[in-house]
């Protein structure tokens, strides 16, 4: 088996038609020797900010001297980014070897595992084989029935900002979504939560009490922003002064506060994490595709804001960094998202839109999305490819700012297209 064959095998198993539940992943991992039972975890759930918070935890734990596994989704450029150890994506050869190891166990199952269950099993095996001290494990969808929830009580459970997303799978209310996310809370295991709206916060607090799990809610009243520019942000949080963060979005210091509380919870359990490691880890964290500056002059930003909750935070960041400046937006949105609400948030900032169909079967076709924008009162034109869309956005923006928004699925191609355009101009 070569690398492309391994990827084809992973992606060939479709999750449609499978009932949610943990039975399949338990069966698969049992056949592989239950590797997850040999690992310790920080388990991260939420609607928005999961990936950024996980990246901060990973960076700070590595600065504290630990060997750290990181399991996230989706990827930006290559599939291997989803499974990392000490900041390095799993090598192709190791991925092939692990797929060959998992394949017989998966084939022997009465009900085939889902794609995400296969990837979870691959990650667990790799983290054991590379002797990780701790794994930062990001939930795929929801929490309670997500395949990552097969783990025993983690060192810490983290719940980031909650909003309305995946309502088909998780329920039509914020309380229902919070209940699904709070499914990662386990007996006696500390929980750290983002300061969510009361409706969601109550559910998390009640679940924590029921599980005998001590809960810490990050207190944003103790968070003070000192400065923000295209270089990054400086802030104080609860006794830690002058922290720096290279991530530009205005919501990232709040995610950092959640990460700091989780690291303190780990410290209370005996992990050696000095404040210097927290300071250094935050200062050097990297998380591509999330309010990432692809070009400085004129500015071209990339952000994977893929739902209305995330888009609201992105708009807040754009207003803060570029007050009063109109943007040309490159957008692609998935059909299962609230596209109208996302677009309405962008319209007041928009000089114009260029639409494109991201490489996903769920993407709204570019022409259809452009018509949707026009119907809302905006100016939009579809493009036939991502490079053509980037070229058109740059032409329309001139010396003004531009941003590519709406999904992470086109992030890798947008980054390449912006780099190519810049080389040619």
Six token digits for residue 391: 């070229």
Distances (CA, A) of 12 to 123, 226, 328, 334: 18, 49, 37, 21
What is the C-alpha separation between 254 and 117, in angstroms, rounded? 31
Q: Where are the alpha helices (DSSP H) in 88-234?
A: 92-107, 115-129, 167-170, 174-181, 198-210
Six-digit token string for 89: 């994506």
Whole-model pTM? 0.91
d(CA 344, CA 377): 9
Query: pLDDT digit string (tens) for 49-80?
Result: 999 999 999 999 999 999 999 999 888 889 99
The fraction of the chain above a pLDDT of 90, given in percent, is 82
Say if residue 395's pLDDT is above 90. Answer: yes
Which pLDDT belongs to residue 169?
47
State both tokens at 241.
């002064």
Q: Per-residue confidence at 168, pLDDT binned at 50, 70, 90?
A: very low
- Rounded Cα distance between 134 and 85, Å, is 10
Closest CA to 250 of 305, 190, 174: 305
Confidence of residue 15 (pLDDT cuts 50, 70, 90): low
Tell me the mean pLDDT in the region 171-182.
83
Q: Which residues pair with 159 in a beta bridge?
A: 45, 193
Average pLDDT over residues 162-184: 73
| pLDDT of 341 strictly over 80 | yes
Please give the Cα distance from 54 to 192 (Å, whole number): 13
Tens digit of pLDDT for each residue in 346-385?
A: 999 999 999 999 998 899 999 999 999 999 999 999 999 9
Assess contact for 409 and 360: CB atoms under 8 A. yes
DSSP 146: S
| Closest C-alpha among 299, 311, 389 to residue 348 | 311
**What is the chain's mean pLDDT, rounded?**
94
The pLDDT, as a whole number, for residue 164 is 60
Tell which residue, 162, 5, 133, has the closest CA to residue 69. Answer: 133
pLDDT given at position 167? 43
**pLDDT confidence of 14, banded at 50, 70, 90?**
low
pLDDT tens for residues 259-276?
Answer: 999 999 999 999 999 999
Q: Specify which residues 77 forms β-bridges with.
A: none
Q: Is 52 helix (H, G, I), strand (E, B) or coil?
A: helix
């Amino acid at each position: 088996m070569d690398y492309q064959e391994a990827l084809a095998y992973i992606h060939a198993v479709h999750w449609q038609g499978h009932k949610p539940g943990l039975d399949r992943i338990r069966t698969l991992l049992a056949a592989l020797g239950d590797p997850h039972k040999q690992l310790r975890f920080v388990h991260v759930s939420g609607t928005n900010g999961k990936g950024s918070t996980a990246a901060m935890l990973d960076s700070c734990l590595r600065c504290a001297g630990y060997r750290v596994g990181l399991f996230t989704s989706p990827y930006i450029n290559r599939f291997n980014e989803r499974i990392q150890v000490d900041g390095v994506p799993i090598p192709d050869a190791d991925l092939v070897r692990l797929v060959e190891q998992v394949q017989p166990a998966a084939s022997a199952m009465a009900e085939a595992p889902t794609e995400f269950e296969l990837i979870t099993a691959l990650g667990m095996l790799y983290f054991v084989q590379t002797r990780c001290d701790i794994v930062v494990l990001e939930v795929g969808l929801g929490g309670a029935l997500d395949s990552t929830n097969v783990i025993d009580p983690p060192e810490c459970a983290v719940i980031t900002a909650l909003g309305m997303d995946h309502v088909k799978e998780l329920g039509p209310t914020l309380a229902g979504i919070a209940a699904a996310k709070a499914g990662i809370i386990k007996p006696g295991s500390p929980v750290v939560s983002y300061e969510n709206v009361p409706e969601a916060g109550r559910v998390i607090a009640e679940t924590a009490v029921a599980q005998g799990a001590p809960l810490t809610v990050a207190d944003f009243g103790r968070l003070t922003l000192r400065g923000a520019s295209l270089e990054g942000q400086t802030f104080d949080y609860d006794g830690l002064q002058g922290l720096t963060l290279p991530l530009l979005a205005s919501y990232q210091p709040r995610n950092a506060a959640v990460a700091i509380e989780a690291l303190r919870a780990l410290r209370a359990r005996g992990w050696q994490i000095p404040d210097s490691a927290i300071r250094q880890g935050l200062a050097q964290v990297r998380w591509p595709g999330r309010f990432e500056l692809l070009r400085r002059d004129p500015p071209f930003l990339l952000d994977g804001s893929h739902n209305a909750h995330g888009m609201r935070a992105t708009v807040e960041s754009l207003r803060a960094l570029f007050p009063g400046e109109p943007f040309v937006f490159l957008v692609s949105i998935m059909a299962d998202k609230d596209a109208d609400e996302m677009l309405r948030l962008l319209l007041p900032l928009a000089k114009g839109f260029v639409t494109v169909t991201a490489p996903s079967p769920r993407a709204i076709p570019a022409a259809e999305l452009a018509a949707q924008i026009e119907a809302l009162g905006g100016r939009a034109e579809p493009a036939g490819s991502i490079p053509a869309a980037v070229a058109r956005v740059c032409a329309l923006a001139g010396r003004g700012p531009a941003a590519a928004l709406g999904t992470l699925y086109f992030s890798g191609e947008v980054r390449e297209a912006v780099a190519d355009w810049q080389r040619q101009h």
